[in-house]
Structure 1
Amino acid sequence: MKISIVTTLYKSKIFLDQFISEIQIALKQIQCIDYELVFVNDGSPDDSLQFLIERKKEIPQIKLIDLSRNFGHHCAIQIGLNYASGDYVFLIDNDLETSPNVLIEFYNEIKVDQTLDVVYGYQEFRKGNFLEKLTGSIFWILINKLSDTKIPHNILTERLMTKQYVESLLQLQDANVFLGGMMYWVGFKQKGLPIKKGQRKGASTYSLKKRAELMLQAITSFSGKPLEWLFYFGITISFFSFLFIIYLGLQKIIHQDEVQLGWTSIVAINVLILGVISTFLGIIGIYIHKIFRQVQGRPNAIIKRVYE
């Protein structure tokens, strides 16, 4: 049995020594001697790549994939999964917020119940300050309300997956990558285990801007409902504007010169036009959304060099 450890590099140099040491201890604990450590360099600005090239001389199981630039965490993960050759693939962030020792717990769980395809970690209670907890909760509520794919709240990157599951996941050709949704859209039998995250050394590379971009990516990749809402909003405006125009016409017929249409009628007509335009844009947007998801042929990441 071979296990592939997949992780990405971005400002990771300060964690790598301890990470490699702890993951090797975890592998020894589960008596796994056939393994590979797959590191994907996602355009890291530090010398993480050079450090691992040197470590590879003493640890031949290290496999390095150097991307041509920073393509983002999820795209880098996709590349790592594609290069993993193990019977099981363990996905983990190397910032040590989650201990590599969770591999032991995940492995034991998947061996006890061999019908499982994935064992993943989740937080029972989110760490961080009030704003981080609030925005995190809003994100998971929103994505589950908007998407047809139900995603467990507060999931972590860390998960142990069978080769069959990984191969099925990689069959998805989404150009707008949101792995949190894709991993549950493919189905299979999955089980979550509560994991307590530690405190990261140094600032997180996931800024507020990146979190907002991830939320937008998640919603637009897994839901067309915002476009549907735009359509229904346009229909509603058009309907009430039409009723208002009828009301003004009746008032003019009944009261004649007492009712001055003037700017009021102009406003009503403008609102009606706005409603019609919004309706049409909503319909067109729904179709463009569907076409857009089908026709993009651009790769999600470009590999500069592989060190095997």
Structure 2
Amino acid sequence: MAPSMGPQTTPMAAVAPELSVVTTVYRSEAFLHRFIEETVDAIARAGIENYELIFVDDGSPDQSRDLLLKARASNSHIKVIDLSRNFGHHKAMLAGLSYAKGKQIFVIDCDLEVRPGELQRFVDALRDTGADVVYGVQEKRKGAVVERIGGAIFWHVFNKLSDTTVPENVLSERIMTRRYVDALLSLGDRNVFLGGMMYWSGFRQIGITVQKSVREGASTYSFRKRFSLLMEAVTSFSTVPLKFVLFVGLAVTLIAVVASAILLVRKIVHPEAVLAGFTSLMLVTIGMAGVIITVLGIIGLYIARIYTQTQNRPLFIVREFHD
């Protein structure tokens, strides 16, 4: 079962939930029991009765799925989307959004770095401001040194290279209106980078400061995954690397023309002079080869994005949906 990127249709007789809470699950077994308890309590304190809790099992190798199915037996609000394999956090989140039926959709990570109790502040801000999106921002980036520096570099590089600006300390947690989520799902991007897609979509978006604690246990976002996501983000939302390649090509060509002119004049004025020797020739050859390989690599990244987009494969495959 592979749903389209459009929003799910709701039967006429059914009443759309007031709120959908969407989260992804990957190696999350240790957090789920507390997350469910705190989320249900936060929803109750917000005075919301008609809601749904959507968990997207992104091919988690632990017992998260079994734990969720047991919790579902005692709480009918819980729904589990069981993906056929690990598709990645961003695609799993899109799966959850495509199944969410709520008038408002609250996205939150289940690792308890941001407590579900913050829900009330998001709901109040959305109501008081009339915005379509209220997203969380942390005053100071938390986590280990590598994680803090890596996150800061990631957003700094993305914002420098992209026409879409994303707040550098933005969090995953946000509440969104139905019309905004429908617009987001309509984009149809196969090269998925939610951070850029969410801000490219427009609408009125405001940020609120949210307290974020340090995750218990190691983060599942390794340096390799973060770097891969950066490549995905930049090549999906920016043509700056291609423009840079063009600039380098023109600069190298100009240098070659000037150098050739100088050597030619030198040979005419001083016929007995010996031109650049073997060492210089090899250095130029190696340097040009490096430039060519780099240029081809950057162009190859964009061609790969075109290839992925034209394949038109589903972003995720749902093995089973426990409604």
TM value normalised by structure 1: 0.92
Return the letter of the residue paired with 2:51: Y
CA–CA distance in structure 2, aligned partners of residues 272 and 35 of structure 1: 61
Return the letter of the residue paired with 2:127: K
- The reply to whether residue 109 of structure 1 matches residue 125 of structure 2 is yes
Shift of the alpha carbon at 1:278? 7.2
- Seen in structure 2, the aligned counterparts of structure 1 residues 289 and 12 have a Cα distance that, compared at 3 Å, is closer
Shift of the alpha carbon at 1:260? 3.5
Residue 223 of structure 2 corresponds to: 208
Residue 15 of structure 1 corresponds to: 31
Shift of the alpha carbon at 1:97? 0.5
- Seen in structure 2, the aligned counterparts of structure 1 residues 90 and 272 have a Cα distance that, compared at 3 Å, is closer
- Seen in structure 2, the aligned counterparts of structure 1 residues 208 and 261 have a Cα distance that, compared at 3 Å, is closer
SS at match of 1:63: strand
CA–CA distance in structure 1, aligned partners of residues 152 and 294 of structure 2: 32
Structure 1: where are the runs of 5+ without partners?
A: none
Residue 266 of structure 2 corresponds to: 251
- The reply to whether residue 156 of structure 1 matches residue 144 of structure 2 is no
SS at match of 1:101: helix
CA–CA distance in structure 2, aligned partners of residues 297 and 158 of structure 1: 29
SS at match of 2:81: strand
Shift of the alpha carbon at 1:15? 0.9
CA–CA distance in structure 1, aligned partners of residues 223 and 302 of structure 2: 31
CA–CA distance in structure 2, aligned partners of residues 225 and 296 of structure 1: 25
Shift of the alpha carbon at 1:198? 1.1
Return the letter of the residue paired with 1:148: D
SS at match of 2:150: helix
Residue 137 of structure 1, aligned match among 131, 152, 165: 152
TM value normalised by structure 2: 0.88
SS at match of 1:258: coil
Shift of the alpha carbon at 1:213? 1.6
- What is the count of residue pairs matched by the alignment? 307
Matches within 5 A, 1:1-308: 2-114=18-130, 116-260=131-275, 262-263=277-278, 266=281, 270=285, 281=296, 288=303, 291-292=306-307, 294-308=309-323
CA–CA distance in structure 2, aligned partners of residues 265 and 247 of structure 1: 15
- Seen in structure 2, the aligned counterparts of structure 1 residues 177 and 251 have a Cα distance that, compared at 3 Å, is same
Shift of the alpha carbon at 1:238? 1.1
- Seen in structure 2, the aligned counterparts of structure 1 residues 4 and 162 have a Cα distance that, compared at 3 Å, is same
CA contact (8 A) 1:248 1:265 kept: no
CA contact (8 A) 1:98 1:197 kept: yes
CA–CA distance in structure 1, aligned partners of residues 289 and 254 of structure 2: 12
CA–CA distance in structure 1, aligned partners of residues 287 and 264 of structure 2: 15
Note the aligned Cα RMSD (angstroms): 2.4
Return the letter of the residue paired with 1:133: R
- Seen in structure 2, the aligned counterparts of structure 1 residues 239 and 293 have a Cα distance that, compared at 3 Å, is farther
| Structure with bigger RCO (C-alpha 8 Å, 6+ apart) | 2
